[in-house]
Amino acid sequence: MNKLAVVALGGNALLRGNQAGTIDEQEQNTSDTLENLVYLIKEGYSLVIGHGNGPQVGNILMRNDAGEQNYGIPQMPLDVCVADSQGGIGYMIERMLRNVLHKHGIQKEVVCLVTSVVVDKNDPAFNNPTKRVGKSYTKEQADVLAKEKGWVFKEEVKDTGTGWRRVVASPKPMRIMNERIVEELAREGVIVIAAGGGGVPVYIDEVGDVRPMEAVIDKDSACSLLANRIKADEFYILTDVPYVYINYKKPNEKKLEFLNKVDTDQYLADGMFGEGNMSPKIKACLSFVEQGGHKSVITEATKLSDKSFGTKITLEYED
């Protein structure tokens, strides 16, 4: 049986921070990123692909705002905006991936599933929003928007001048809807795009009905949970750095090529990874190996085929 890997694409794999966000830019970024997955496919892996939606759902929220202010169009709630981004990005990934596969002469089916993810409506995350959405602003711009719209902002990397982004609640994913279908398709060799943007956040009410939640689920946590639920062998997070670092962007910055559970727990306890950016990725990777996964890897997309790059997280250090 082929190895099964879940690959989580960061939002920056689709939209770069210094870009306007045109469809041409996003399609080119997506195609460039997906080229790197050909390595895994040729190595015999079956794939499930998740993706971020931070920049995109933030833009949808701003369009919502502009539509209401300028044209009286009713705003859609955050869960619908997440679903919009999941469908649009999933379609783009599917189309670009089909073209990449065709270029390499690879015959595989690709399917995108709009995925709901169950959360606890009483999750404490609703009292402490941390999930970044939308573009980066200066401190002055963020202060104006916070006053006008009641949004909450946090600095990207503290005291580095990297900008401020809106934050929303990010509850813990509890269950992936349609996870059985995802596994069945993946085991049959279909490349499945699922849990995009962390999934559409929902909860189950007292009578068993599915209800929406105003939140954005961390896509790495959702993809980690999905990887465990479908019994994946490996879990990859593709981001914009080739390694995980401690003391990131500081004079004593240090890259980490290998991590085990003990060291990872200690670094997390010491606050060595940024809240809202690298810390959730580390926690997602650690959770995957704690729940039975063999290995997690965090790296930059273009370094995927070079095993000398990337931070590898396992329960114990491997020889």
Choosing from 198, 281, 310, 312, the catalytic residue is 281
* 303 among known catalytic residues: no
* 52 among known catalytic residues: no
Q: What are phi and psi of 14, to 5 degrees?
A: -110, -35
Q: Is 20 exposed, middle or buried (0-12, 13-18, 19+ CB in 10 A)?
A: exposed
Q: What are phi and psi of 259, to 5 degrees?
A: -140, 140
Choosing from 198, 199, 219, 310, the catalytic residue is 219
Handedness of CA 294, 297, 301, 303 (dihedral sign): negative
* 42 among known catalytic residues: no
Rounded distance between C-alpha atoms, residue 43 and residue 297, angstroms: 16
Choosing from 11, 54, 58, 293, the catalytic residue is 11
Three-class secondary structure of residue 18 per DSSP? coil
* 70 among known catalytic residues: no
* 281 among known catalytic residues: yes
Question: Do 286 and 311 touch, CB atoms closer than 8 A?
Answer: no
Rounded distance between C-alpha atoms, residue 144 and residue 128, angstroms: 21
The catalytic residues are 11-12, 131, 219, 281
